[in-house]
Structure 1
Amino acid sequence: MLSAAGIATSLAQGTVYSVNAVGYINLTIPPGFSIIANQLDNIVGSSPDNRLSALIPTAADGTTVYKFTGSGYSISTYDVLQPGWLPNGNDTLNPGEAAFIRNSTSGNITITFVGQVPQGHLVNSIPANFSMKSSMVPQAGAVDSVLGLVPPLVQDGDTIYQFSNAQNKYVINTYDALQPGWLPATPVLQVGEGFFIKKNGAGSWVRDFSVNQ
């Protein structure tokens, strides 16, 4: 579905201590639809600029990003004749958010995100009902034991939908408080992967994170 390679940051250097860890994430996007996430802050000057036009300044012609609004999608398409995103490239993809991307070519394309790894007290607000989310930090692993998506934020009946590009369908897992755990399996996320989540009630996905942990 979605492969991620090469995050170059002091995350991989346990003996390196720094205030800011700057890295990159390469995402290989196959033809068709995938759900992607940007898990780095693109710092311009002294503040992040995570608009599409800043994160992905160039792309294959016809590449389209669909950002879920809660009731539909805000759609941005890359036009090489501009060159740029239409209508304006102002949709954001902040750490913790996610969006569909459609590769309209017949081969893989590569998207590279560059920026600072989010650190400190990180709060990812998740509304009730459907939303598109991701881990705020570039880590792969189980949503509970590694990424901290656990009760009381996770409630009975909450459901995660991961999109499989290869199968062109969702892989669906639902939290069962009686287990307790995810059925039929605990979702495992890759770096740069987003997902749909349907929650029975709003909450905050909170992590205290440092690259020097």
Structure 2
Amino acid sequence: MKRCLKWGLVGGTLGAVVAIPLFPAWMAWVDKFQTLITGIAAVTAAYLAIRQSQITDENSDRRHDQLMELSLRPIRLKIDRTVRPMAEQIEGALPDILRWEGRLSAADGALFLADNIEEFDSLSGHWFKMVNNKQLRIGEDYFSGYMVNALSLAQEAAQRTFEEFHDIRPHLKHLSGGDVAKIHVAQKMGRLKSALITLAENLESFCFNLRELEKDYLVHVK
């Protein structure tokens, strides 16, 4: 439609110019309003030039957006594979980690651990596997320094949690023993709680930044 209008205007202008010497009345009218016609023609030419420039810019911007989208696609795929479903798994694990950290910090924490030893055994193994899941490393090239550090500290804390638990497990049956046995268990419990606190803090930091990465790269992905 726009193309037909453009060529129509060109054809009409050429026809009007050719008709000037052929029709005296038309020539007289053109001569009388020559200044006005020249002004209108100049304004029209300027408008058409600006409009053409706008169309060119719009096409250029559209092409640029398409190229940017293509260049970002591999990055988005990597981040998508890292975030989904690992962020959900971390967010699901954090309440359990915090609950156990709080429960073990209570006066009867060792007794609670002894009574729920199989549950903690299962959870500590799950946390260890989760933070060492290779899927978390797919988008590592786009992690900030804080994210890399938080994930590394979380992995170390998960390892210590697993090891401290299996170290303390045989001693939990001696809770009813003498003061020496209780002090020994209390020391081991302190190291286990410390590992849990470190795990929770760094996992929370890592997951927060993972969600920020998701907003930066995946917010427009359907």
TM range (shorter): under 0.3
- Superposition TM-score, scaled by structure 1 size: 0.23
Length-normalised TM-score, structure 2: 0.22
Kindly indicate which of the two structures has a greater share of residues assigned to helix: 2
Is the strand fraction higher in 1 or 2? 1
